[in-house]
């Protein structure tokens, strides 16, 4: 069985060919390959089953030319489209193919990527006799998309050595089967730092002061994310309108807005809702705002304004407003005035006291009161006959 993608297909949805087994998927496109698309349901963190490969059971993709552009397409490793080898048939009569791109996952036990010497296409074996210079570029960032750590790449004899290619793979030497490289102290330290710093901040376009210092920490989740700080004029307008309706007309500087998006790097999907998984946001604020009663405001998925209370903190000479959320869209830092300011002050103080309260142990469970009642009732029934006077 084979899968054929017509040249007029411009997008393919996540999991479109889930559990569809074939020896290869064929693309009729000469250059502009299809992109990956997904529904809004896939942007909720708990819906990870919605974020599965387009071609989950196919490991060979056949393109019409060796110069087909891979980036930003369904075959790009940064998207959940395909994992395997992308080849172009160079001689059908001799059953030969050229390796265009490789995104094979490493072996679970050895951590080695074994590049095959041939691929199966429509029941025939095609020898991989050559490879493009950038065929292994995906492994420069393997930690973001590979299922497991890549410790080396093994090539068949026809493809020579990894050092023959342009790829800047982390290992300087080629590995043979059975060989392992010792991890240096520097590499261990880099891995530790990488695991602790799981969110990278990228500023796209915003006038928010200190936007590059905006930070996010995903709690209880080991996945890697990128926080995008941007400007969204329509979202800002909607937020300003909602805040004005609830708290009154705004004055200059009372509301500062920035648009936040969280990208899950393993799927390249923007996660809009983290469900039960909390995200701690640190938004830089000015010295003036540290003297005011501030809170965060955002538009919820139900279209209503949400007010989120937090605390002011200082780190490395920068003042931050810190709060927890599970929703990503446009956020505003709002300074309350009058009664609104007093309400924000009281709620923020209550939150601060709650966070500072020490754990006092498990709370009393009412079920034990019921158990005790049954025990005492049983004892009363046992004691009563012996307590009666004889007549």
What is the tens place of the pLDDT at every residue in 305-336? 999 999 999 998 999 999 999 999 899 999 99
Give the pLDDT of residue 217.
Answer: 93
User: Going along 92-142, which residue ranges are E strands?
Assistant: 96-102, 112-114, 118-121, 124-131
Confidence of residue 223 (pLDDT cuts 50, 70, 90): confident
Looking at the fold, whether 206 and 333 belong to one and the same domain comes out as yes
Position of tokens 């006291």? 353
Task: Please calculate the CA angle 253-257-260 and round it to the nearest 5 degrees.
Answer: 160
Confidence of residue 254 (pLDDT cuts 50, 70, 90): very high
Find, among 187, 125, 122, 202, the residue nearest to 156 by Cα: 125
Give the pLDDT of residue 245.
Answer: 95
Give the pLDDT of residue 231.
Answer: 87
Q: Which of 180, 206, 226 is the last residue of a domain?
A: 180
Inside any domain, residue 331 = yes
**Contact (Cβ atoms closer than 8 angstroms) between residue 54 and residue 80:** yes
Find, among 61, 71, 77, the residue nearest to 23 by Cα: 61
User: In angstroms, rounded to a whole number, what is the distance separating the alpha carbons of residues 391 and 372?
Assistant: 34
Inside any domain, residue 391 = no
Inside any domain, residue 189 = no
Q: Which of 180, 215, 238 is the last residue of a domain?
A: 180
Q: Which H or E run includes 349?
A: helix 339-356
Over 148-163, what HEC string results? CCCCEEECCHHHCCHH
CA distances from 241 to 77, 148, 234, 375 (A): 41, 47, 11, 61
CA distances from 163 to 33, 152, 153, 169, 232 (A): 29, 12, 11, 9, 45
Give the pLDDT of residue 126.
Answer: 97
Q: Does the structure show a pLDDT above 60 at 390? A: no
pTM over cut 0.85: no
- Three-state DSSP class for 312? strand
Looking at the fold, whether 204 and 176 belong to one and the same domain comes out as no
Give the pLDDT of residue 357.
Answer: 53
**Contact (Cβ atoms closer than 8 angstroms) between residue 43 and residue 270:** yes
Mention every residue, 6+ apart, whose C-beta is less than 8 A from residue 179. Answer: 152
Inside any domain, residue 334 = yes
Looking at the fold, whether 168 and 39 belong to one and the same domain comes out as yes
Q: pLDDT digit string (tens) for 17-66?
A: 988 888 999 999 887 899 999 888 899 998 888 888 999 889 999 998 87
Q: pLDDT digit string (tens) for 233-243?
A: 999 999 999 99
Q: What value does the mean pLDDT of the chain take?
A: 83
Give the pLDDT of residue 184.
Answer: 41
Mention every residue, 6+ apart, whose C-beta is less than 8 A from residue 103. Answer: 75, 77, 82, 83, 84, 85, 86, 138, 145
The two structure tokens encoding residue 144:
């973001």
Looking at the fold, whether 158 and 54 belong to one and the same domain comes out as yes
Confidence of residue 153 (pLDDT cuts 50, 70, 90): very high
Q: Does the structure show a pLDDT above 70 at 89? A: yes
Give the pLDDT of residue 222.
Answer: 79
More confident residue, 389 or 143: 143
Lowest mean pLDDT among 20-34, 160-174, 236-250, 267-281: 160-174
Inside any domain, residue 369 = no
The two structure tokens encoding residue 135:
């065929």
Q: What's the full length of the chain, in residues?
A: 391
Confidence of residue 68 (pLDDT cuts 50, 70, 90): confident
Give the pLDDT of residue 363.
Answer: 39
Lowest mean pLDDT among 103-117, 336-350, 368-382: 368-382
Give the pLDDT of residue 182.
Answer: 43
Inside any domain, residue 382 = no
* Helical ranges in 104-199 per DSSP H: 142-145, 185-196
> What share of the chain has pLDDT > 90, as a percent?
53
Inside any domain, residue 225 = yes
Confidence of residue 171 (pLDDT cuts 50, 70, 90): low
Mention every residue, 6+ apart, whose C-beta is less than 8 A from residue 239. Answer: 255, 257, 297, 298, 299, 305, 330, 332
Find, among 32, 160, 189, the residue nearest to 99 by Cα: 160
Lowest mean pLDDT among 132-136, 139-143, 182-186: 182-186
Count the Cβ atoms, other than its own, within 10 Å of residue 141. Answer: 12
Find, among 161, 30, 24, 147, the residue nearest to 77 by Cα: 147
Task: Please calculate the CA angle 68-70-71 and round it to the nearest 5 degrees.
Answer: 135
More confident residue, 176 or 71: 71
Looking at the fold, whether 11 and 160 belong to one and the same domain comes out as yes
Looking at the fold, whether 42 and 106 belong to one and the same domain comes out as yes
Looking at the fold, whether 297 and 158 belong to one and the same domain comes out as no
| Across 212-238, average pLDDT | 90
Query: Residue 57, class by beta-carbon neighbours within 10 Å (0-12 exposed, 13-18 middle, 19+ buried)?
Result: exposed
What domain range is 234 assigned to?
196-356
Counting the structural domains of the chain, the total is: 2
């Amino acid at each position: 069985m084979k899968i054929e993608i017509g040249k007029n297909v411009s997008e393919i949805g996540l999991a479109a060919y889930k559990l569809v087994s074939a020896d290869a998927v064929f693309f009729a496109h000469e250059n502009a390959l299809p992109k990956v698309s997904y529904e809004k349901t896939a942007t909720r963190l708990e819906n990870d089953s919605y974020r599965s490969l387009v071609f989950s059971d196919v490991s060979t993709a056949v393109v019409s030319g060796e110069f087909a552009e891979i980036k930003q397409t369904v075959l790009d490793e940064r998207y959940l489209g395909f994992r395997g080898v992308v080849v172009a048939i160079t001689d059908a009569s001799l059953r030969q193919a050229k390796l265009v791109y490789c995104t094979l996952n490493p072996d679970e036990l050895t951590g080695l990527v074994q590049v095959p010497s041939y691929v199966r296409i429509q029941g025939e074996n095609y020898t991989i006799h050559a490879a493009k210079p950038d065929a292994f570029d995906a492994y420069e960032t393997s930690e973001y998309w590979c299922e497991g750590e890549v410790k080396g790449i093994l090539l068949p004899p026809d493809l020579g050595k990894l050092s023959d290619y342009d790829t800047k793979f982390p290992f300087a030497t080629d590995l043979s089967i059975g060989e392992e490289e010792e991890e240096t102290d520097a590499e261990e330290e880099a891995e530790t730092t990488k695991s602790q710093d799981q969110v990278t901040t990228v500023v796209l376009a915003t006038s928010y002061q200190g936007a590059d210092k905006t930070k996010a920490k995903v709690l209880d989740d080991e996945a890697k994310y990128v926080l995008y700080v941007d400007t969204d004029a329509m979202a800002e307008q909607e937020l300003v309108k909602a805040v004005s309706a609830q708290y009154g007309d705004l004055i200059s500087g009372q509301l500062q807005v920035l648009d936040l998006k969280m990208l899950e790097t393993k799927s390249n999907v923007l996660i809009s809702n983290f469900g039960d998984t909390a995200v701690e946001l640190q938004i830089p604020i000015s010295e003036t705002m540290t003297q005011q009663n501030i809170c965060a405001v955002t538009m919820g998925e139900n279209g209503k304004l949400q007010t989120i209370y937090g605390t002011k903190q200082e780190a490395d000479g920068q003042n931050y407003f810190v709060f927890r959320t599970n929703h990503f869209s446009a956020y505003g830092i709002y300074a309350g005035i009058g009664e609104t300011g007093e309400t924000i002050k009281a709620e923020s103080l209550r939150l601060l006291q709650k966070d500072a309260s020490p754990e006092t142990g498990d709370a009393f469970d009412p079920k034990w009161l019921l158990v005790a009642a049954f025990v005492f009732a049983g004892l009363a029934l046992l004691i009563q006959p012996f307590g009666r006077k004889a007549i």
